[in-house]
A and B are shown apart, each in its own frame.
Chain A
Amino acid sequence: MLKIENLHVEVDGKEIIRGLDLEVPKGEVHAIMGPNGAGKSTLSYTLAGRDGYTVTDGRVTFQGRDLLDREPEQRAADGLFLGFQYPVEIPGVATLTFLKTAVNAVRRQRGEEEYDAMQFMKLVRGKAKDLNISDEMLKRPVNVGFSGGEKKRNEILQMAVLDPAFCLLDETDSGLDIDALKVVADGVNALRGPERGMLIITHYQRLLDHIVPDRVHILAEGRIVESGDKSLALELEKKGYASFGSDRAA
Chain B
Amino acid sequence: MDSTAEILLERFSGDADTDRTAARDRFRDAGLPTPKQEAWKFTNLRPLAQFLDARTEPANDSRPAIPDTLVDGAYRVLIIDGRIDGDLSDAGIDGLSLAQGSGLQADTDSGRALRDLSIAMADDGLRITLDANATPPRALELVFIGTGSRSGGHHFTLEIALGSNSALTVVEHHLGSNAYAATLATDVRLADGARLRHVKLQDESTEAFHLSDCAVEIGRDASHERFVLSVGSRLARDEVHVALNGQGSSVRLLGAYAGRGQQHLDHTTHIDHAVPNTSSHEVYKGVLDDRSRGVFQGGIRVMKDAQKTAGHQLNKALLLSRQAEIDSKPALEIYADDVVCSHGATAGEIDEDALFYLRARGIDAQAAKSLLVQAFLDEAFDGIADEGLRERLKDRVHGALQLEGAAHG
Q: Which of A88-96, A128-136, A178-186, A235-243 contacts B (4 or more CB under 8 A)?
A: A88-96
Mask: chain B, 344-372; 1 = CB below 8 Å from A; 0 = not: 00000001111011111111110110011
Number of interface residues of B (CB under 8 A): 26
Question: Which residues of A, 13-63, contact B by the 8 Å Cβ criterion?
Answer: 48-51
Taking CB atoms, residues of chain B closer than 8 Å to A72 are 356, 359-360
CB proximity of A250 to chain B, nearest CB, Å: 26
CB proximity of B179 to chain A, nearest CB, Å: 36
Question: Which residues of A, 72-93, contact B by the 8 Å Cβ criterion?
Answer: 72-73, 75-77, 82, 84, 87-93
Tell me whether A92 and B362 are in contact in the complex, defined as CB-CB below 8 angstroms, given that A84-B357, A97-B407, A104-B409 are known contacts. Answer: no
Find the residue from B357, B365, B372, B379 having the highest chain A CB count within 10 A. B357
Question: Does B378 reach chain A (CB closer than 8 Å)?
Answer: yes
Cα–Cα, bound, A51→B365 (Å): 12
Question: Does B75 reach chain A (CB closer than 8 Å)?
Answer: no
Find the residue from B358, B360, B364, B379 having the highest chain A CB count within 10 A. B360
Mask: chain B, 381-409; 1 = CB below 8 Å from A; 0 = not: 00000000000000000000000001101
Contact between A90 and B358, CB atoms less than 8 A apart:
yes
Identify which of A84, A91, A97, A105 contacts B362 (C-beta below 8 A).
Answer: A105
Residue on A with the closest CB to B407? A97
CB proximity of A58 to chain B, nearest CB, Å: 21
Question: Which residues of B, 128-167, contact A by the 8 Å Cβ criterion?
Answer: none
Contact between B378 and A92, CB atoms less than 8 A apart:
yes
Contact between A158 and B361, CB atoms less than 8 A apart:
yes
Contact between A76 and B361, CB atoms less than 8 A apart:
yes
Tell me whether A162 and B357 are in contact in the complex, defined as CB-CB below 8 angstroms, given that A93-B375, A105-B409 are known contacts. Answer: no
Cα–Cα, bound, A136→B362 (Å): 24
Question: Which residues of A, 173-219, contact B by the 8 Å Cβ criterion?
Answer: none
Contact between A101 and B365, CB atoms less than 8 A apart:
no
Question: Does B374 reach chain A (CB closer than 8 Å)?
Answer: yes
Contact between B359 and A76, CB atoms less than 8 A apart:
yes
Contact between A106 and B364, CB atoms less than 8 A apart:
no
Find the residue from B353, B375, B409 having the highest chain A CB count within 10 A. B409
Find the residue from A72, A77, A87 having the highest chain B CB count within 10 A. A72
Contact between B364 and A93, CB atoms less than 8 A apart:
no
Contact between B372 and A90, CB atoms less than 8 A apart:
yes
Residue on B with the closest CB to A120? B409
CB proximity of A75 to chain B, nearest CB, Å: 8
Taking CB atoms, residues of chain A closer than 8 Å to B371 are 93, 98, 101
Contact between A105 and B363, CB atoms less than 8 A apart:
yes
Taking CB atoms, residues of chain B closer than 8 Å to A48 are 356, 360
Contact between A87 and B409, CB atoms less than 8 A apart:
no
Contact between B367 and A101, CB atoms less than 8 A apart:
yes
CB proximity of A110 to chain B, nearest CB, Å: 9
Residue on A with the closest CB to B409? A101
Contact between B359 and A92, CB atoms less than 8 A apart:
no
Identify which of B354, B365, B376, B379 contacts A73 (C-beta below 8 A).
Answer: B365
Interface residues of A (CB under 8 A from B): 48-51, 71-73, 75-77, 82, 84, 87-93, 97-98, 100-106, 109, 114, 141, 158, 162
7 contacts between A and B (CB under 8 A): A48-B356, A73-B360, A73-B365, A88-B357, A92-B374, A114-B409, A158-B361
What 6 A-B pairs are tightest by C-beta distance, nearest first? A92-B375, A101-B409, A76-B362, A106-B362, A102-B361, A72-B359
Interface residues of B (CB under 8 A from A): 351-354, 356-365, 367-368, 371-372, 374-376, 378-379, 406-407, 409
Beyond A73-B362, A92-B375, A93-B375: 18 further Cβ-contacts under 8 Å?
A50-B356, A71-B365, A72-B359, A73-B361, A75-B360, A76-B360, A88-B351, A88-B356, A89-B354, A91-B375, A92-B379, A93-B372, A97-B409, A101-B363, A102-B358, A102-B363, A158-B361, A162-B362
